[in-house]
Chains A and B, each alone.
Chain A
């Protein structure tokens, strides 16, 4: 599963919810949905590169838009035991063979793209091939690596494709969702690479082509307007066609305070945020009945400090990493900058992930300035440096800068010198890709299957070259082994035991300084309902993972 968002400030998981609904307690009695109206959704950032999905770099805001225009073959659902399973969504069925090297995907019949062309096996193959980097006109550097173990995608019949993998791939169905990024794209969109990033054609509940009533389309840094798809294939539990809304408009509002102001002032009637202080503010409004609030830390991303272990960075030395781990106190960040809302994390995975360990078993370093100073001395002996100093990168968001300043003050008490730098959010991924950082405040690793995190930590690609999206430049034989074995282990219990080793390796090596589980808050005006998504097409209960909040069931009334 690819990250929903990278960089930025974090809230984090915890019990979530005050008076606002939480994942564990979604609103159940909102009345009968009414048709009509438009939701104006304030997003945390613009998606500058557009939505040519195989090549796009989608963060939280971009994924929200993608979810309105496209559908994915699978979707996460509540497995009934507090975890996640991936169920068919656009697909009617997704079945592995006994060896998990062949996956047969049959799409639902009678579904059309927004341009009227049918959803069929050819279209699915076209999308999957584009994501695999097989489309010569559409680059897909990231997903080419993600799907490098897919050896073929073949059409079986009009509605069925077969995906063949080089290795047994137990959790392949999770990748068919990829945090909402693997939307099935119409052939017409992929056939026009020059307009692929803005001429969006999917099967989703909203469309931007052939609009009849709205002025649809994308004006960068202004808005993205989409009209309801009158031929959308989904219905609600009562057989009513979805979506209920006439239109949806997404607006990037980077300043979270202005986003909340927009909600209160009426310019926006839906927003999302991970800022703890603003979430607390919204809870007050929810108590007063002026907003509808839904919070989720289920399968949460983790907010943390990512360290670059490349030779050029001081963090190539384990003692340097441990020094920072012992010097910092993420709980203080949570209390001072996130209103104490999120839960502390000492590992990359949230409690609902099969790789999650009891925190006591992980043994991540706790704040201890004496030990920090010891590690600094060991670092100096190893490297001959006179001091431990590093650059800490963050986005320009004031909340994130605050966290960076707090971390700086904490580690300086141990004698570590820190220089702060800021980069705008849309650029921070590029900065990380280039390895042009020593430490950066980051947010990633939403829940689901741990196999989906291989892309971020596996040391090399198939050709043997370094994995360029392994931002931390980690080369750890144990981590590689865990991912290799875990991907193909078919026994669920054994698989869980394999992946549970991962947090312990991270703790021992302190590759990252874990912070907290990100708490996402979705707030709507008091007449906006259906924030929690409706029951899935085959009757399963949905889940909200990270920032991915489905807009299909929203209504105004």
Chain B
């Protein structure tokens, strides 16, 4: 089998699976080392398998309900497929595509195709069958969306962490209140509104960044980052506010703990106390929200991809909804469900790494 024969979807899913198992087995190794081979092994194996089953069940449920909801969209998909056609022609196409089959039959067919990697086709207007493959289009669009969400998340964390730490350190002061006010402002500003403001000032008025379009990294790294800067910032700003406030709250509590007092008494510097002793136990909420926020990032990315003409998965989703492309839409929802659940599982496992108490509790 050549590399080219491998369906495109395999790569991101394989990467996700590898990461997932890596975390599982890292925590398994630590647990085994601490409490002994037999007991730890059985606990971890059970916890690991249970988690995987949970993931699978959640994905099924999400795709099932999404598939059902999609069919409530008004109109007839054959109108999108054929356009100028007689009712008889449309009926024939509906039969050929199985659109008249019961929902559970259509869903079963989708599940089988999705999990076996069978490529499915966009139902394309102009020619009802034999349109472009969903995975082909996804292969082009997915990297764009992943890059956008990744850059936005990194930007958000890069700014939120120091600001949150500083705000916690300066809790109650005017500086802290000012930062909170700014955070509220950023939270209430919709990301697409911010996008247009940034476009106006930084693209149209001052030509610093492009107002739209995507340049692949391989084509030009500098142009790539320029093209992704405004969308990433638009998506990140709201998250900065959320993460900053979360971290601030947790750190304020942590800084009141006895061990922090002990650290101060020992003469440790403020910087060391904040970064080495207080930050880690304060990060659990932040970590949880960062994973849950994947949903918000996806939603924001959908809007911003249209604004900035990025051609990512969000654009495909909108197009699929408008054109009632059931197969494509179900595929996208399935993938998003996998990514979302997988990210939350990874975070869940990451707790074991961050907090020894959780690691011991699980092992016990």
Contact = CB atoms under 8 A, between A and B. Distances in A.
Contacts of B80: 427, 430
A267 B82 CA distance: 34
Given A255-B307, A264-B204, A57 B212 contact: no
Nearest to B312: A221
A253 B212 contact: yes
Interface of B: 74-76, 79-80, 82-86, 89, 124-127, 130, 132, 137, 140, 196, 199-200, 203-204, 207, 210-214, 306-307, 309, 311, 315-316, 318-319, 322-323
Contacts of B86: 141, 468
Which applies to chain A's interface (DSSP): helix, strand, loop or mixed? loop
Given A52-B127, A265-B210, A221 B79 contact: no
B292 to A, nearest CB: 29
A48 interface: yes
A247 B313 CA distance: 28
B224 to A, nearest CB: 14
B206 to A, nearest CB: 9
A316 interface: no
A221 B311 contact: yes
A191 to B, nearest CB: 14
B210 A267 contact: yes
Contact of A49 (B85, B126, B140): B126
A247 to B, nearest CB: 16
Given A255-B306, A262-B211, A142 B84 contact: yes
A261 B311 contact: no
A253 B210 CA distance: 14
A424 interface: yes
A433 interface: yes
B332 to A, nearest CB: 14
A494 interface: no
A408 interface: no
B127 A197 contact: yes
Question: Size band of the A side of the interface?
Answer: 35 or more
B132 to A, nearest CB: 8
B253 to A, nearest CB: 45
Q: Nearest 8 pairs between A and B by C-beta?
A: A49-B125, A424-B322, A430-B79, A49-B126, A141-B84, A265-B211, A142-B84, A265-B203
B126 A50 contact: yes
Most buried by A among B80, B82, B211, B306: B211
B127 A57 contact: no
Nearest to A55: B126
Interface string A412-450: 000000000001101101110110100000000000000
Contacts of B196: 257
B200 A261 contact: yes
Contacts of B84: 55, 57, 141-142, 433, 468-469
Contacts of A197: 124, 126-127
Contacts of A261: 199-200, 203-204, 211-212
Interface of A: 48-50, 52, 55-57, 139, 141-142, 193-194, 196-197, 219-222, 251-255, 257-258, 261-262, 264-267, 423-424, 426-427, 429-431, 433-434, 436, 468-469
A139 B213 CA distance: 35
A258 B83 contact: no
Nearest to A142: B84
Nearest to A141: B84
Nearest to A264: B204
Contacts of A48: 124-125, 319, 323
B259 to A, nearest CB: 53
A434 B80 CA distance: 10
Given A196-B127, A426-B322, A434-B75, 9 more contacts: A52-B127, A141-B82, A193-B127, A197-B126, A219-B311, A221-B311, A265-B210, A427-B75, A427-B79
B139 to A, nearest CB: 12
A397 B213 CA distance: 20
Most buried by A among B83, B137, B306: B83
Contacts of B323: 48, 426-427
Contacts of B307: 255, 258
A57 B83 CA distance: 8
B83 A433 contact: yes
Contacts of B212: 253, 258, 261-262, 265, 267
Nearest to B79: A430
Given A261-B203, A261-B204, A430 B306 contact: no
A430 B83 contact: yes
Contacts of B211: 258, 261-262, 264-265, 267
A253 B309 contact: yes
Nearest to B125: A49
Contacts of B126: 49-50, 52, 55-56, 196-197
Given A48-B319, A255-B307, A434 B140 contact: no
B124 A49 contact: yes
A50 B124 CA distance: 9
Contacts of A55: 84, 126-127
Nearest to B90: A434
12 contacts: A50-B124, A52-B126, A141-B82, A251-B213, A257-B196, A258-B211, A267-B210, A427-B75, A427-B79, A431-B79, A434-B75, A434-B79
